[in-house]
Chain A
């Protein structure tokens, strides 16, 4: 694994802000045990966030303290009641006046005790089984809900993309690679009425660590920042960029990650609005 790439990938920040997926979080927790650098990075971010949270602290109303403490005391009682009760059957029935029956009763009592213990064990196992089945099905539900919500998001995105493409006012601008990067190819969809700009990568090399591609709008002599865009899995999707009120050309350059106010990197692709 490339540690530096991982540290800069943004996964740690997401995890600290609680936005990582369960899989990402699990992996990160495992890696943090393995790599002290990752662990230090997580902690440094967590502590910064804690300071932020601490600034928002506020005393809860006084009566809430009693409510909470009472609630916990009730839970404690519940726990005690739920603790397994030892089986003590039949000892009450045992009396000296049963004299001659004593050995027989003792045997019977032992037998009953055994039966009762066996029954307890059986019930306990059943209960455990039922509980684990319940847990599995709850987990299944949760995964299903997550999947549905993901699909809903994807559908919403696809619908939006379609509406952009179908809009007759939307103009397609093909950005072709410059001499140094002839393979570069990017499409820009621009709607001059709504000023919305969407970008789709057709072909661009993956940028090196710490770099990101950035879009620019050219309007006469003015060059305006169109925002940075993602590569990797996002490259094929339509990515929403900043809005462009006017433009006669679009340019893609490679800049410092996060983008720069004035371009300082290499130009990759250029396309004129026809």
Chain B
């Protein structure tokens, strides 16, 4: 439903309703899209309370900016994913989040002996896209899309030459396209 290049009739109606700030349209938007947006925020922020806040802020932004959404430039889903990603990444870079993470890191080292410190359990099967993508390709997508890093930052973090990172980004998306 989401991944064809032409919007469905439902989507056209939904967009019209959203632009009129119709409450039912927003409810339906939440119903249909909040799991994708919430999953995205969780992946970026790795903490439920932060992801919830990001999700709520995203809907506020959608409400405020829906007038600027231009159907001719792309699908609604792409547009709202963008809003949610930007919202989550702004939070990720915020002072408050950094402080929170430091506190969390202390907490985690305290508990590290007993359990894995991953805050979010990802329920992803072995046959999933994510699992089938080679780790080095997954890594660059994670660092750049979900981590919001620039090429230079990502190259530093992954300890790769910038040239290698850049070509890896291209290959990663090409591989991803082959798998879908």
Interface residues of B in 57-102 (CB under 8 A from A): 59-60, 63-64, 73-75, 77-78, 81-82, 85-86, 89
Partner of B164, one of A19, A56, A153, A227: A227
CB contacts under 8 Å to A, within B26-43, are: 26-27, 30, 34-36, 38-40, 42-43
Cα distance, A17 to B5, chains bound together (Å):
18
> Which secondary structure dominates where chain B touches chain A?
helix
State the CA gap A75–B160 with chains docked (Å). 46
Alpha-carbon separation in the docked complex, A45 to B5 (Å)? 11
Question: Are B23 and A17 in contact, with the CB atoms below 8 A?
Answer: no
In this complex, how many residues of chain A approach chain B with their Cβ under 8 Å: the count is 56
Min CB gap B27→A, angstroms: 6
Taken residue by residue from 1 to 25, chain A's Cβ proximity to chain B (1 for < 8 Å, 0 otherwise) reads as: 0000000101001101111000000
Partner of B81, one of A53, A212, A228, A258: A53
B30 in contact with A52 (CB, 8 Å): no
Structural contact, A258 and B85, CB atoms closer than 8 A: no
Q: Given A51-B3, A52-B130, A55-B124, answer yes or no on A13-B170 (Cβ-Cβ < 8 Å).
A: yes
Give Cα A57–Cα B84 distance, bound, in whole angstroms. Answer: 13
Please determine whether B129 and A258 come into contact, CB atoms closer than 8 angstroms: no
CB neighbours of A13 from chain B (8 A): 169-170, 173
Q: A49-B173, A75-B63 are in contact. Are A228 and B38 (CB under 8 A)?
A: no
Q: Is the CB of A68 closer than 8 A to any CB of chain B?
A: yes
CB distance B167 to A241 under 8 Å? no
| CB of B161 closer than 8 Å to a CB of A | yes
Assembled-state Cα–Cα distance A242/B169 (Å): 17
Q: Are B38 and A52 in contact (CB under 8 A)?
A: no
Contacting pair A44 B39 (CB below 8 A)? no
Most chain B beta carbons < 10 A, residue from A57, A60, A153, A212: A60
Q: Is A206 at the interface (CB under 8 A from chain B)?
A: no
Which chain A residue has the least Cβ–Cβ distance from B120?
A58
B39, B60, B75: the one within 8 Å of A53 (CB): B39
CB distance B3 to A53 under 8 Å? no
Does A97 have its Cβ within 8 Å of any Cβ on chain B?
no
Assess the A17–B141 pair: CB atoms within 8 A.
yes
* Contact present for B145 and A59 (CB under 8 Å): no
- Tell me which residues across on chain B come within 8 A of A241, comparing CB atoms: 161
Interface assignment of B111: CB less than 8 Å from any CB of chain A: no
Listed in ascending order, the chain A residues whose CB lies under 8 Å from chain B are: 8, 10, 13-14, 16-19, 29, 33, 40, 43-61, 64-65, 67-69, 71-73, 75-76, 79, 153, 157, 212, 227-230, 234, 239-242, 257-259
Q: Residues on B close to A: CB < 8 A?
A: 2-3, 5, 21, 23, 26-27, 30, 34-36, 38-40, 42-43, 48, 51-52, 55-56, 59-60, 63-64, 73-75, 77-78, 81-82, 85-86, 89, 122, 124, 128-130, 133, 141, 144-145, 148-152, 155, 160-164, 166-171, 173, 176-177, 179-180
